[in-house]
Structure 1
Amino acid sequence: MGALDLAGIESAARARVPRDIWDFIEGGSGAERTLAANRKIFERFALRPRVLVDVSTCELGQTLLGTRLDTPIGIAPMAYHRLVDEEGETATAQGAGRAGALFVTSMFASRTLEDIAKAGGPRWLHLYWLRDRAALAALVERAEAAGFGALVLTVDAPRIGRRLRDQRNGFAVPPHIHAVNLDADLMATSHRSEKGSSGIAEHAREQFDTTLTWADLGWLRARTRLPLVLKGILTAEDARLAVEHGVDAVVVSNHGGRQLDGAIPSLAALPEVVEAVPAELPVLFDGGVRSGTEAAIALALGARAVLVGRPVLWGLAVGGADGVHQVLDLIRDELDHTMALLGRPRLADLDRGAVTDWPCPTD
């Protein structure tokens, strides 16, 4: 692709992807305040470089919940990768595998878990809590058999946010693309297109269990040996409850600005969540990262890994597995470069002392 930064890949992807699909990928909920805030808040932090440190080699590898990773940059869960590339999630898995990066695979993947596993690379499975618990249990069993390393349960989506772009477009999943790991009857509503409504939202209203509480986590725990990660934690209160309920890790996330509009930006929530949990419990982060420097800020604020969403689909749309690999490598290389110039050559060196609050010029 030849792009030197993610902006070039984004521009190339936008020229290739149909408008309604682009809006589905890029859009947020409501007035998209949180979507914008996820990006803007990085400007509130500046880096504090140290000097005269041996930075001849920067160490970016780590083991997370038993999964060995070559980079702290991973892929956030996103549905239906075949919307932008015929090979879909198998190409994404190949690109992630070449980068040694974690791929959190959506339960609404458009390729089978088994095919994704064959493509290689570190992988965890993402879940929404369906009303049909038998379908959920069967999916968990398949994931464990296919070598997925953990379960990532989204907890901030009892309903889908009001995504006005999708409603204006009457967006629905195209008929030739399916969430192939679930029974077609469970997914039928997602294919229904009507102006002023969203097939994705209609499907969520029909299938997501809005009665889910902390007490239900025990049911899932009893059905798997895999570590359990909760995605969508934004407060210290919920972080402490996650610890009390035996969760193995949390992801600080506001769903990429796609759920509650006006919710706190993920980066603003990160420090209080990190402070609320034991040091040994991993806190992952997603929310607007578009460079290795921004990833360094999140890591310095306490994240153990940074998950990237939309840019991965840009790369997939432009170059398939090669494009995914390029996106991940661009961010990793920028992170490596930033760590060297910061004088902090190990992930453990990226601590709160590496960043300082820096009010936006417009404040």
Structure 2
Amino acid sequence: MEFLSFDVKNRTLALRKAEIPTPGPNEVRIRIAYAGVCGTDLHILEGSFPCKKEGFLTLGHEFAGTVDAVGSTVKNFKLGQKVAVDPNSACDKCTFCHEGSYQHCSSGGINNTIGIFRDGGFSTHAVVPESQVHLVPDDVDLQQAALVEPLSCLAHGWKRLNGVNVGSNVLVIGAGIIGLLWACMLHLHGLRKSVTISEPQEKRRKLVNNLDLDFLAESPERLKQTFDVVIDCSGSAAAVQAAIPLLGPGGRLCVFGVANPSAKFSIEPYEIYKKELTILGVNINPFSFPRGLGLLHAMADRYLNYDKLGIKVFSLSQYREALDSLKKGEISKAVFKL
């Protein structure tokens, strides 16, 4: 098999080959079709996000493909089925896991993610536990199915927000892939002219118009009105700080983007008191993958067009070009076609 090997100590990537692994009794081997590059992958490569501490790692926690082999005790999957992988799992032992909040688990959740702490999808093949494999609807393309992991995180965010009422004034910060997917989900749920996407790069503001959502794409310095809901998809502490004064009374701030762990911003507690603001975070996708698949099915034909979303497909051998294009903001997302 062919895969991208990340040297954790030296933070370097190399394209390598190895024997195709054999699945264990409760594992499924997947012939990967598409694997998405997440902003978190960029943070890991630059050393600003925690991952496996030693040795080598195959990154990639957003991937879909077909079942290539199954272990002796696997009963729910057959060869050739289209599947996607939930990279996160619970330890099933701690209080958080038993309460359905494995995103806070000290040994599961984000601390044991496939593609961050275990070998992931930047490879032609991956072996994963059966419990983390999900069938993809027959009428959904595998290229679109590569987006189900971020969609499952959006599903968790939607639940944390307890939904957004039609007619609410909403600000989405950032027109990268996550901001664009949030815009699409808001449109799917019936919001129309009351949504604004804040983005400093003109080329990314144009992507919003390409999606034909009838939403306003605006540069941050031109934002004047107040909003009922602000969803940060930028991971920028400065952007979050600038958005707080834009919240109206009873406003809600959803911190969805992953910031550098050392980033800080200041806030006036009086504003929280006076306006009765709510500030909430969204951490991965606990038990949200089935809802992510539901969003995938509902959004596929209307919203998940790669060209309109600014997604570009690369081969594994083009990994340098893919990462460089993503870092420069020339594309909203890079996806490897295996």
TM-score, with length taken from structure 1: 0.28
More strand per residue: 1 or 2? 2
More helix per residue: 1 or 2? 1
Higher RCO (C-alpha 8 Å, min separation 6): 1
